Amino acid sequence: MSRLEDQFMDLWQAAGPKGIDLTTQYLFDPVTWSDREGHEKRRWRFDAAIPDHRIAIELEGFGLNHQGHAGFNADCEKYNTATSLGWRVLRFTANHLASRSWWVIEMIEATIHEVQLKEKVDGEEEDDRKAEEV
């Protein structure tokens, strides 16, 4: 893990919501995109993810781990593909972790809450549809 990822994990362990399964270096394998319109099969990793809620967390080191425009373009492809498949991608910088750590945790918690609320509403709508079929 990078130093930035270590800082994030320290923050998560100290202040992150309890009972939430966070996975580091989460392999995102959008198999639905393989062989589609000539796209090669892609496999990416999120710096961290909450897979149960389809929340990806990316820590932006401003080019420290990427090679210029090619790395930036690849990241954009990853973020957009994930979003098109229902993932929420949260991006944080070293400055966020150092000086706005409360906000990082707040954004993650708000996103978890939004996902849980949507799941509840979707479940209630599905129950209503089933009741109408009977």
- Which long-range contacts link 25-33 to residues 24+ away (Cβ below 8 Å)? 25/1, 26/51, 26/56, 28/56, 28/78, 28/82, 28/87, 30/81, 30/82, 30/85, 32/85, 33/81
H or E element that contains 76: helix 68-84
Contact 28, 45 (CB under 8 A): yes
Rounded-to-integer distance, Cα 54 and Cα 58, Å: 13
44-67 pLDDT, tens digit per residue, is: 899 999 999 999 999 988 655 556
User: In this structure, what token pair is assigned to residue 85?
Assistant: 């498949």
Q: How many CB atoms lie within 10 A of CB 19?
A: 5
What is the band of 37 on the pLDDT scale with cuts at 50, 70, 90? low
CA-to-CA separations, 22 to 70, 72, 97, 134, in angstroms, rounded: 28, 25, 17, 40
pLDDT of res. 18: 94
Rounded-to-integer distance, Cα 31 and Cα 43, Å: 8
93-120 pLDDT, tens digit per residue, is: 999 999 999 999 999 999 999 999 998 8
Report all structural domains of the chain as residue ranges with CATH numbers, in order of start: 3-133 (3.40.960.10)
- What predicted TM-score, i.e. pTM, was given to this entire model? 0.81
pLDDT of res. 103: 98
Between 117 and 71, name the one with better pLDDT: 117
